[in-house]
Amino acid sequence: MPKSLRKLRRSYLYVFILPALILIVLFFLFPVVLTFLISFTNLDYRFKWEWIGLGNYYYMLKDRWAKLIMRNTIFYVIMTLSCFNVGMALVISLLTTHIHDKAGSAFRAIWLLPRITPSTVYIVLWNWALAPYPYGAFNWILAQLGFEPFITKLNTNPVSPYVPIPWIWVWVILVNGFIGASFGMIIFSSAIKAIPLDYINAAKVDGASTLQIIRYVILPMIKWPIMFVTAYQTLSLLTSYEQILLFTDGGPGYTTEVWALYSFHKAFAEYAGAFKFGYGAALSVILVIIGLIASVAYYRVFRFRELMLETKIEV
């Protein structure tokens, strides 16, 4: 093929990907850059602004709620990730991958329902289920069984905290965890099915127990899918706020407020911050930095463990 014809063919390829590049720039890169620039201003609802440099970040250090909300965010991410998004997803995958195909597929399909259901519908249904007696299904069942109804009012405000604080986090993590667990289950099930059965059969011949097979055969061979799910779900939990917004709105007070929801409230909720777009953008920038640090840390940890394992094998 002549050189000029090859160049012409390459130019046509760029034309085909141009629409996608334009969409990425308009709806991803441009908002990211704009948010970063706004974080250095005091832009508000009047669209009047001044360049204040690191003023928003300095104010963040003095914000009395920022430390509490950061602790809430870390607690929420760690508990949801370990108990559901990775922990439960991995357990379900191990239990259902090697059972009967139809039974395993049916069980995984049930677990996918929270994922494919719109989050608004999913959270509203949970709010109805946990409503106070006699309206909520959960409290109604408890009453029918002879137990005292559990008084719940998840969409609380600072004046009327109906739910004991520990119970609020239990429900928040439980409800949101089912959504993330289904995603991890898909990835882990595919990775486990890709493992050659020869390795597992060889371990059985050598007398390895089920737990030993999981620990020394299956888990080492799916370490990169585990890293991907852990990193992806960490970023997803850090940036998601709509579930908590609909479920508790961060209440009572700032008890269940997370960083992404706090950024939303400061930027778009008049009662929380009088539409402080600049400060909300600064909070979002910090969230992006935390997500990048977490992703790099996950990669480093998994890569370090892999290098240590290779070193032991060579020795």
The tokens of 116 are what? 């494919």
Q: Tell me the pLDDT of the chain averaged across its residues.
A: 82
At residue 7, the pLDDT reads 66
Q: pTM score > 0.85 for this model?
A: no
Residue labelled with tokens 């390459």: 10
Per-residue pLDDT band at 80 (split at 50, 70, 90):
very high
pLDDT at 156: 46
Q: Is the pLDDT of residue 46 over 70?
A: yes
pLDDT at 287: 92
The three-state (H, E, C) secondary structure of the chain, written as one string: CCHHHHHHHHHHHHHHHHHHHHHHHHHHHHHHHHHHHHCCECCCCCCCCCECCCHHHHHHHHCCCHHHHHHHHHHHHHHHHHHHHCHHHHHHHHHHCCCCHHHHHHHHHHHHHHHHCCHHHHHHHHHHHCCCCCCCHHHHHHHHCCCCCCCCCCCCCCCCCCCCHHHHHHHHHHHHHHHHHHHHHHHHHHHHHCCCHHHHHHHHHCCCCHHHHHHHHHHHHCHHHHHHHHHHHHHHHHHCCHHHHHHCCCCCCCCCCCHHHHHHHHHHCHHHHCCCHHHHHHHHHHHHHHHHHHHHHHHHHHHHHHHHHHHHHHC
Number of neighbouring beta carbons within 10 Å of residue 106? 11
Please give the average per-residue pLDDT across 16-40, as a whole number.
89
Q: Which CATH architecture group holds 10-288?
A: Orthogonal Bundle (1.10)
The residue extents of the domains of the chain are 10-288
- Residue 161's pLDDT band (cuts 50, 70, 90): very low
